[in-house]
């Protein structure tokens, strides 16, 4: 199967990213996110428009930095930043506590687009985490309580037993937000929009936050 990789090729022909891209990167992000959700509705080949690859840096036992990535769901964005929710006792949360800077990637393959976002990471206020938690399905709330995220477990049966234990614990009552679960906000200082073009001569527009808090826009070579 790996012998196919050197010859793997596809054309990118779906669109272009004009020099007249908006001055505010969030305006372009909103437009592209709308396009992604519309694509899912129209063709169902972009199943998770809000899926985002979150990359952090861990310090290995040998002292070397080790980049680590995983897919999570983007749960909000505005002028303050891009929000995800997670177990705050997880490895990614620990990595962000030690190095509070991260990168996000939204890969919208059917649209031949991607967005890269970089910046510092901060905790959401408890009230914001509480508000989002209240809207989660009960099953997801119980799952958050039941899972010791990324810790080893003996079997799937043992994992299911943890879930049943939490189901019994909160039977007949609301499920409160655990103290180890909450939101993180990536406050961007750089965004890059990539649009596939013919002959690998792709469009790339980068926005970099300047010292005066204005966005500086640059076209990058592919």
Cβ atoms 46, 114 nearer than 8 A: no
Confirm whether residue 215 is marked as ligand binding. no
**Run of H or E including 65:** strand 65-73
The question of whether 64 is a catalytic residue gets the answer no
- Nearest-CA neighbor of 111 among 221, 8, 16? 16
Does 96 carry a binding-site annotation?
no
Residue 106 is assigned to a ligand binding site: no
Could you tell me the CA-to-CA distances from 48 to 35, 92, 94, 106 in Å, in that order?
A: 12, 21, 26, 10
Active-site pick, 66, 169, 200, 219: 200
Does 201 belong to an annotated binding site?
yes
Is 59 flagged in the annotation as binding? no
User: How far is 183 from 189, CA to CA, in rounded Å?
Assistant: 19
204 is in an annotated binding site: yes
Residue 185 annotated as binding site = no
State how far the Cα of 188 lies from the Cα of 26, in Å rounded to an integer: 10
28 is known to lie in a ligand binding site: no
Q: Which residues are annotated as a binding site?
A: 70-75, 85-86, 92, 114, 132, 136, 140, 149-150, 194, 200-202, 204
Q: Which residues are annotated as a binding site for substrate?
A: 75, 132, 136, 140, 200-202
Annotated catalytic residues are: 200
Q: Which residues are annotated as a binding site for FMN?
A: 70-75, 85-86, 92, 114, 149-150, 194, 204
């Amino acid at each position: 199967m790996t012998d196919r990789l050197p010859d793997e090729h596809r054309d990118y022909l779906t669109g272009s990213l004009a020099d007249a891209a908006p001055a505010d990167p969030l305006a372009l992000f909103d437009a592209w996110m709308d396009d992604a959700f519309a694509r899912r509705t129209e063709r169902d080949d972009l199943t998770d428009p809000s899926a985002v690859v979150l990359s952090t840096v861990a310090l290995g036992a040998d002292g070397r930095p080790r980049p680590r990535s995983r897919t999570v769901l983007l749960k909000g964005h505005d002028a303050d930043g891009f929000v995800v929710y997670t177990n705050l006792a997880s490895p990614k949360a620990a990595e962000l506590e030690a190095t509070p800077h991260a990168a996000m990637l939204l890969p919208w393959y059917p649209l031949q687009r991607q967005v890269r976002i970089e910046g510092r990471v901060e905790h959401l206020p408890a009230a914001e985490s509480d508000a989002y938690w209240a809207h989660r399905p009960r099953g997801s709330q119980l799952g958050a309580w039941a899972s010791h995220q990324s810790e080893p477990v003996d079997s799937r049966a043992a994992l299911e037993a943890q879930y049943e234990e939490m189901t019994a614990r909160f039977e007949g009552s609301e499920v409160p937000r655990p103290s180890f679960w909450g939101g993180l906000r990536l406050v961007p200082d750089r965004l890059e929009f990539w649009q596939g073009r013919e002959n690998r001569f792709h469009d790339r527009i980068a926005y970099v936050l300047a010292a005066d808090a204005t966005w500086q826009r640059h076209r990058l070579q592919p």
